[in-house]
């Protein structure tokens, strides 16, 4: 059986390391690949697959484009507006394991009863972060972003979840006082947000996992806060995908070991 991760760019992805390590640990004769595919090529790629494909992992820029090819989605997909997993069977079902990945990464990193959260960015991962924040018990979210249409979509999600939502200008924000900060922006975008003289006490999750640590993560830690590396989110969302694809419990320890080995090469 086969699976793969799709996106553009995709050469940096460590998803094959995680999934193939799991298959090897459990003696499964499965293969997990990576393929560079953009929005225009997603439908034709899926149509070309044979019956021995279990599913696909999706990364940028496919998490919204996938809605055009799925036949069913889960409630978490509906509310987040983001698909990062396709599972094949009698029909194509869309899932969102990013939410689980964020929740588990934050718990593993020691977040304790957070009430406030700042999310940096407003794309698909940011929408997943809103849902994850609610699962962690967050009651107030501040969004730092510039795209007014995307901010409105995030606001609507927060309202559906009963979360107080604000999106102030960056220079009026008190985001550094948040119990939890989740950076969902690409490499380098948020690096200059945190002044070197800042003092913080919350947890920062930066979804970027390579190179690590990012500049904002290093500054956050220096300023007194705890950091949650993006590779923990990568690990836990992959664990959920693995179980959706194979139908068996994932060998988390072996997947984690393979990931850490790859990151240190």
Q: What positions carry a catalytic annotation?
A: 63
SS3 89: coil
**Three-state SS letters, 154-206:** HHHHHHHHCCEEECCCHHHCCHHHCCEEEECCCCCCCCCCCCCCCCCCCEEEE
Alpha helices in the chain (DSSP H): 15-26, 39-47, 75-80, 98-108, 124-135, 148-161, 215-222, 230-246, 252-263
Tell me the two tokens of residue 169: 């200008």
Q: Look at strands 85-87 and 93-95 and give their pairing.
A: antiparallel
- Dist CA 263 CA 113 (whole Å): 30
DSSP one-letter code for 109: T
CB distance 217 to 204 below 8 Å: yes
Taking the alpha carbons of 221, 106, 84, 146 in that order, is the dihedral positive or negative?
negative
């Amino acid at each position: 059986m086969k699976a793969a991760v799709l996106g553009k760019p995709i050469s940096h992805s460590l998803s094959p390391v995680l999934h193939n390590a799991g298959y090897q640990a459990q003696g499964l004769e499965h293969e997990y690949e990576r393929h560079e595919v953009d929005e225009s090529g997603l439908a034709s790629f899926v149509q070309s697959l044979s019956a021995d494909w279990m599913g696909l992992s999706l990364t940028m820029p496919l998490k919204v484009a996938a809605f055009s090819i799925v036949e069913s989605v889960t409630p978490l997909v509906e509310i987040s507006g983001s698909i990062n997993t396709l599972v094949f069977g009698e029909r194509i079902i869309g899932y969102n394991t990013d939410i689980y990945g964020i929740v588990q990464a934050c718990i593993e990193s020691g977040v304790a009863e957070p009430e406030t959260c700042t999310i940096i960015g407003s794309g698909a991962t940011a929408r997943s972060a809103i849902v994850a924040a609610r699962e962690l018990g967050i009651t107030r979210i501040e969004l730092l972003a510039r795209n007014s249409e995307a901010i409105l979509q995030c606001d609507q999600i927060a309202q559906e979840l009963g979360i107080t939502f604000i999106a102030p200008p960056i220079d009026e924000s008190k985001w550094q006082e948040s119990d939890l900060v989740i950076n969902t922006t690409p490499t380098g975008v948020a690096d200059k947000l945190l002044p070197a003289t800042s003092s913080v006490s919350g947890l920062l999750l930066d979804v970027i996992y390579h190179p690590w640590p990012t500049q904002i993560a290093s500054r956050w830690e220096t300023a007194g806060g705890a950091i949650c590396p993006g590779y923990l989110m990568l690990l836990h969302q992959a664990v959920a995908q693995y179980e959706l694809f194979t139908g068996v419990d994932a060998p988390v320890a072996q997947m984690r070991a393979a990931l850490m080995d790859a990151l240190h090469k």
